[in-house]
């Protein structure tokens, strides 16, 4: 018997997996397995016979118990099942996020993806989870929205340390469309806005220990948003923020090149 045949045997029936999991908890008689799983008498017999042939279980006084090999198979199966579940949970986000291959995957977190019936779901997800009393906020985004700009003012007034990166197109649009908010940002000591020449391809928000990653479509629509408190992902995101910020100049230096109406 080769490994693939053993894997196929175990995964070929939910009842076999249920029997393996139950035996990992405690040795059982076949009648006890019937009581504690939803498997039929025939399915339990086939599972135990197959497990015994492969050396995964041993029979002692009509009780079946996992051998060392059986415990190893159980542990590895649970790891694989968890990996598949994680892959499925994040698959749509990873498909749309442009730096997916660089992420320290796997990680823990929640994802919301836009659907035809709920196109605004990722945006609502992001704003609903933004902490209202954060000490520090760092981030960037390739798309300027009124709701995002309007959320800056109460954040500044709350005393949050804010550090943002805009590309030149984004900064120019923000200065022209929201001059009063940009004036507030430039005259507030706790706010630093950096302007970079290269376009920004995805969204990032680091809010204290929390991470938000945002993936956009070709028309600037928010396709997916990830929220996580995973430490490894936070470290990766912090490094990415520093990379994007490098070579920037301040909004104060960029603003004189952009005609806009001052709110003061």
Residue-wise pLDDT for 183-230, tens only, equals: 888 888 888 999 999 999 999 999 999 999 999 998 889 999 999 999
Does 250 have pLDDT greater than 60? yes
Residue 121 Cα distances to 10, 116, 142, 218, angstroms: 38, 10, 18, 18
Does 260 have pLDDT greater than 60? no
Which of 97-111, 154-168, 225-239 bottoms out in mean pLDDT, i.e. has the lowest? 154-168
Arithmetic mean of pLDDT, 115-123: 94
The topology under which CATH files domain 3-77 is Arc Repressor Mutant, subunit A (1.10.10)
Query: Rounded to the nearest 5 degrees, what angle is found at the Cα of 206, between the Cα atoms of 256 and 154?
Result: 60
From CA 67, how far away is CA 168, in angstroms rounded? 64
CATH 3.30.870.10 boundaries in the chain? 97-257
Kindly report the three-state secondary structure assignment for every residue of 5-68: HHHHHHHCCHHHHHHHHHHHHCCECHHHHHHHCCCCHHHHHHHHHHHHHCCCEEEECCEEEECH
CATH 1.10.10.10 boundaries in the chain? 3-77
The topology under which CATH files domain 97-257 is Endonuclease; Chain A (3.30.870)
261 — pLDDT class (breaks 50, 70, 90)? low
Element (H, E) at 123: helix 121-129
Q: What is the pTM of this model?
A: 0.78
Which residue's structure tokens are 């016979």?
A: 49
């Amino acid at each position: 018997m080769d490994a693939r045949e053993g894997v196929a045997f175990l995964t070929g029936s939910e009842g076999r997996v249920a029997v393996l999991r139950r035996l990992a908890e405690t040795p059982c008689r076949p009648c006890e397995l019937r009581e504690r799983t939803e498997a039929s008498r025939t399915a339990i017999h086939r599972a135990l016979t197959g497990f015994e042939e492969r050396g995964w279980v041993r029979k002692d006084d009509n009780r079946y118990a996992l051998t060392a090999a059986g415990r190893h198979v159980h542990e590895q199966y649970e790891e694989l099942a968890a990996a598949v579940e994680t892959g499925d949970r994040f698959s749509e986000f990873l498909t749309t996020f442009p730096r997916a291959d660089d992420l320290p995957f796997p990680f823990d977190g929640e994802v919301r993806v836009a659907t035809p019936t709920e196109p605004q779901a990722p945006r609502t997800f992001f704003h609903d989870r933004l902490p209202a009393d954060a000490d520090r906020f760092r981030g960037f985004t390739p798309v300027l929205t009124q709701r995002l700009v309007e959320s800056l003012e109460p954040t500044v007034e709350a005393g949050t340390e804010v550090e943002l990166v805009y590309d030149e197109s984004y900064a120019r649009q923000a200065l022209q469309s929201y001059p009063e908010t940009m004036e507030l940002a430039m005259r507030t000591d706790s706010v630093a806005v950096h302007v970079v020449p290269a376009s920004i391809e995805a969204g990032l928000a680091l809010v204290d220990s929390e991470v938000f990653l945002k993936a956009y479509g070709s028309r600037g629509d928010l396709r997916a948003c990830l929220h996580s408190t995973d430490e490894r992902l936070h470290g990766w995101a912090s490094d990415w923020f520093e990379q994007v910020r490098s070579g920037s100049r301040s909004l104060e230096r960029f603003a004189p090149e952009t005609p806009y109406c001052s709110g003061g």
